Every structure is written in C-alpha cells, then in structure tokens.
C-alpha cells in the first residue's frame, strides 16, 4: 500500500503558502482539524481564502486565524458566534462569500467527483441566485452552481490508516469527506493512526485515494460550543 | 389567549404523521420534538449529519462529536445513522425528508419566506435554510404573528431579502394556523380565545376567511 504518513502537522503543512485557498472540514467546532489550524497560525501564512462551513469562535478553530488576520476571504454558510469576525467583516478587512449549506457541500463534492457545475433549486429567486444561469427542470427553476476547488483541503478524522483510509465519529464527519475529495492536496489529521489492514474495509468512510498526507494529531481539545443537557429523573 | 412558543410547537406536532422524517430548525421548531404524539413514530434529521436525533444528553454524558445543526450536544436514538454533509443535503434536496419546520422573520401571501438577513445588520448567513425551503415538499413555518414592534409578519410581499420563493405551505403562529394558498393566507384555526378580528388586525397580507373558524385543539 502507498504510505502517506508524515510526522506532524508541521511537516504536513510546510508547503502551504500565503494567498492559497484552503478547505477546512468541520461544522461549528465539531470535527475541525485542530492541529493544522494551530500550525497555520505558527506558519504565519496570510491572505488565505478559507472555505469552511463556519468560522470558529473568537478563541478557537478558525477564530485563531482571524485573530492573527491571516484570512482574506471566508467562504461559508453561517458565520455567527464570532465577534472578531464581525468586526473584520464590517470594517471591510475580511471578504465573505455566503453559500447555502447544501450547495457548499455539493460544490466541494462535485469538484472531487469531476463535475464542474450542477443545477440546484437552492437560492433561486434570492440574492444567491443573482447573475447565475437559471434552467427549469420539471417546471421548477434551478440555478447553476460551480464546483469549488482548493489548493489544500485539511480534514479531521477519528481513525485512519497509513494509506489514508478514514473513519469518522458521530457528527464530526460533516464536511470532511466532501472536502477530502476536493483538495488538490488533502491533509488528514486523525486521533488514531493504524497499520493498513487494521481498519475493516467494509467500515471505511473515505478511501485513501483522496488523501495525500496523514498524521496522528495530538492534544485534541474538542471544545463544545453549546453544552445542552437534561437532568436525570 | 395567544399561544406561547411551546403552544406553537405543540400545535405543529399535530401535523406530524407516522413514519415521517422531519427536519426541525433552530428556536420554536426545536420544541416540536417535545410534543410528538405517542402513537406515531418519526425520525428527526439534523442537517449536520444525523438521522435519528434523540434528546439532550444527561449531564456528564455530552460528546463533542455529537451535535445538532444548532451546535448543541445531543444523543442518538437506537437505529440512528451519521453521514456527511453532501449526503445530508441529498436527503433534503432529494425530498426524502417529508417535513421541514423552520422559523421566519417574514412570510408573504404567495409563500415567499425571509429568515436570514436584515440589511444593515450583521449577516450571519443562511446555513441550510435555502436548501431546505427550496426542496422540501412540506414546509411549516413556526413564528410569532407580529414582530417586536407589533408589525405583521404575514405580508403581501416580503420586505427583507428572501430565503426562498413560493415555498411555505402552512404557518402556525401564536394566534392562528394558516394555509398558504394561491389566493392568499387561508385561516384554518384560531388560538384558544383569539378572535378572527384580532387575527385580521395582525395580518397584513390577504387573509381568506371561510365560514366559522374553529379554535385549535391543544
């Protein structure tokens, strides 16, 4: 099997440069590549275009990159819960492209699947549809959305093997598989890295062919954004 | 008396049918899960990637890898399944989810909905709302009949940027249940003790009243 293992986030990210477009998996703070985000802060790369469903919170996730003014443009579906984000957006320092969540996921998936564009009903008749080609199928208007590509996709999985096969846990899967497929180069950070053959091929969520570099991450904080509980009776 | 948020949720729960897959938005829609009639079984989909969403976890049992689209910690019921975002919206766009319940700032008499952006204020984004409203067969809006300034949220035409066009089928407010028809908002039920006059006064869009309007049974 092809060995994709690199030693660390540092080695995985060393060729990432200022001005690049980077996809980052995760939904809210769930399933985000914590190790690589910290590494991008250390690398001090800037003018990044980040494609990610959300933009983290002030002091965690992509919020770190915003704090250090490393992001030029965010492509997301929802960006609340972040004061620094709001400040940079309102002052014009940060460009923001808001995309319906399903279109964002499908635009990533399409890029990875060799589909340059597709029609979707989402956003028709709204400002999202402005300037986009409209076609009616079955009596219903759809807009043309183009695939989204990135120099790097950075994803986080629960388990991975040395050849890049990945398994996710719970709802931490979210955007990670579609982005893994879309990256020119895809880096996967995993909680557990095992030998090829140790993962059941029947249970793998993303085949290693989509992954170029994999490493075992460490010190996952896995911060909870909204801790909601109920009391035992 | 006008309903509170839980009352609205309780009335919407009566619309659910056995074996439906249901997507509940943030806010009042989330409360619908607390009022499901015992005799039916429904599964809740959350667009971040779970079908079979259960209640909040017990204290101390929260799992950072298990949240809903509101980023709240949740549990999974037996038979639940996790999936990625593209698959999740395939379920939604592909109309495999039978009902979407979501909140709104404005709804127009032709079923347009606005719920994601107020010009001049911080724009947080549409999340999955545009995909949901563009695709769902059956959309129920849960909202208060008027805004904080007392102005109607059921309008001839939405004034805010739209989330979707001609998509809302039914509205349940603190005052009434209304169907969105080709002719306008058709009054179906009144909240207990609320008069047709009160509903008329609170509705800017075209309101159709045919015969006696019954009170909700909740």
Q: Place A172 in a pLDDT band, splitting at 50, 70 and 90.
A: very high
Answer for the pair A83, A66: CB distance below 8 angstroms, yes or no. Answer: no
- pLDDT per position as a tens digit, B191-208: 999 999 999 999 999 999
Helix (H) or strand (E) holding A85: helix A83-90
Residue in chain B lying closest to A158 (CA): B65
B103 CB near a chain A CB, below 8 Å? no
Nearest-CA distance from B57 to chain A in Å?
A: 5
pLDDT reading at B1 higher than 90: no
Q: Is B63 on the interface with A (CB under 8 A)?
A: yes
Q: Do B93 and A223 touch (CB under 8 A)?
A: no
Question: What pLDDT band is residue B137 in, cutting at 50, 70 and 90?
Answer: confident
Chain B, residues 180-209, CB within 8 A of chain A, namely: none
A232 in B contact zone (CB under 8 Å): yes
How close does chain B come to A204, measured CA to CA in Å? 12
What 3-state DSSP class applies to B19?
coil
DSSP secondary-structure letter at A126?
Answer: S
What's the pLDDT at A48? 98
Rounded CA-CA distance A53/A182 in Å is 15
Put simply, the answer to whether B131 touches A222 (Cβ < 8 Å) is no
How far is it, in rounded angstroms, from Cα B152 to Cα A18? 49
Residue A80 has pLDDT above 80, yes or no: no
Question: What's the pLDDT band for A81 if we cut at 50, 70, 90?
Answer: confident
| Residues of B annotated catalytic, as ranges | 47
Q: Is the pLDDT score of B92 beyond 90?
A: yes
Q: Report residue A203 as tokens.
A: 């249970």
If you average pLDDT over residues A74-88, what whole number do you get? 90
Q: CA nearest B154: which of B103, B207, B101, B204?
A: B204
- Mean residue pLDDT across chain B: 96
**Subunit contact A174:B123, Cβ cutoff 8 A:** no
Tens-digit pLDDT profile for residues A178-199: 999 999 999 999 999 999 999 9
In the numeric block, which tokens belong to residue A222? 């896995």
Q: Which of B85, B89, B111 to mutate to test the interface with A (most CBs of A within 10 A)?
A: B85
Query: B69-99: b or e for each residue (b if 16 or more CB lie within 10 Å)?
Result: bbbbbbbbeeebebbbbbbbbbbbbeeebbb
Q: Does B119 touch chain A (CB under 8 A)?
A: no
Q: Which residues of A105-122 are buried (b: 16+ CB within 10 A; e: fewer)?
A: bbbbbbbbeeeeebbbbb
pLDDT at B200: 97
Per-residue pLDDT tens digits for B57-74: 999 999 999 999 999 999
Write the residue in B59, B67, B130 that is nearest to A128 by C-beta: B130
Query: Which residues neighbour B212 within 8 Å (Cβ) at sequence distance 6 or greater?
Result: none
Using CB atoms and an 8 Å cut-off, which of residues 127-166 of chain B contact chain A?
127-131, 134-135, 161-166
Residue reference for tokens 């603190």:
B174
Nearest CA in chain B to A104: B86
Q: Across the interface, which of B55, B64, B82 has its CB nearest the CB of A223? A: B64
Quote ipTM for the complex: 0.96
Pairwise CB contact (< 8 Å): B46 & A105: no
User: Pairing between strand A71-76 and B99-102?
Assistant: unpaired
Q: Specify burial of residue A133 (Cβ count, 10 A radius: 0-12, 13-18, 19+).
A: exposed
Q: With an 8 Å Cβ cutoff, are B135 and A122 in contact?
A: yes
Under 8 Å between Cβ of B92 and B23: yes
Q: A207 CB near a chain B CB, below 8 Å?
A: no
Measure in Å the smallest separation between the Cα of B77 and chain A Cα atoms. Answer: 12
């Amino acid at each position: 099997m092809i060995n994709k293992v690199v030693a660390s986030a540092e080695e995985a990210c060393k060729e990432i440069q200022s001005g690049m477009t980077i996809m980052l998996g995760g939904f809210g703070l769930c399933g985000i590549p914590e190790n690589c985000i910290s590494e991008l802060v250390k690398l001090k790369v800037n003018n990044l275009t980040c494609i990610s469903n959300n933009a983290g919170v002030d002091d965690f996730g992509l919020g770190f990159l915003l704090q250090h003014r490393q992001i030029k443009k965010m492509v997301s579906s929802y960006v609340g819960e972040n004061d620094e984000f709001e400040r940079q957006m309102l002052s014009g320092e940060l460009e923001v492209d808001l995309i319906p969540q399903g279109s964002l996921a499908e635009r990533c998936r399409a890029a990875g699947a060799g589909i340059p564009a597709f029609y979707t009903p989402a956003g028709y008749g709204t400002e999202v549809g402005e300037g986009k080609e409209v076609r009616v199928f079955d009596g219903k208007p759809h807009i043309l959305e183009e695939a989204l590509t990135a120099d790097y996709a950075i994803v986080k999985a629960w388990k991975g093997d040395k050849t890049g096969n990945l398994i996710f846990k719970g709802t931490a899967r979210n955007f990670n598989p579609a982005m893994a497929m879309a990256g020119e180069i895809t880096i996967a950070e995993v909680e557990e890295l095992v030998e090829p053959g140790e993962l059941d091929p029947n249970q793998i969520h993303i085949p290693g062919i989509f992954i170029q570099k994999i490493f075992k991450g460490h010190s996952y904080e896995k911060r909870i954004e909204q801790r909601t509980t109920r009391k035992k009776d | 008396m006008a309903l509170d948020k839980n009352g609205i949720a309780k009335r919407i729960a009566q619309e659910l049918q056995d074996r439906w897959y249901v997507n509940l938005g943030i806010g009042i829609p989330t409360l619908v899960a607390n009022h499901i009639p015992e005799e039916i079984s429904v599964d809740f989909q959350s667009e971040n990637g779970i079908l079979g969403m259960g209640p909040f976890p017990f204290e101390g049992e929260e799992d950072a890898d298990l949240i809903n689209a509101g980023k709240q910690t949740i549990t999974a019921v037996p038979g639940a399944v996790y999936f990625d975002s593209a698959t999740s919206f395939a379920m939604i766009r592909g109309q495999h989810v039978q009902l979407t319940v979501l909140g709104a700032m404005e709804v127009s008499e032709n079923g347009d909905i606005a719920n994601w952006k107020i010009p001049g204020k911080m724009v947080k984004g549409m999340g999955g709302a545009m995909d949901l409203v563009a695709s769902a067969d059956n959309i129920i809006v849960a909202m208060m009949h008027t805004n904080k300034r007392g102005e109607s949220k059921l309008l001839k035409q939405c004034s805010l940027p739209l989330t979707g066009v001609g998509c809302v089928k039914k509205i349940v407010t603190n005052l009434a249940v209304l169907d969105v028809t080709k002719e306008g908002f058709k009054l179906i039920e009144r909240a207990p003790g609320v008069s047709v006059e009160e509903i008329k006064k609170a509705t800017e869009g075209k309101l159709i009243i045919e015969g006696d309007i019954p009170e909700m049974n909740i």
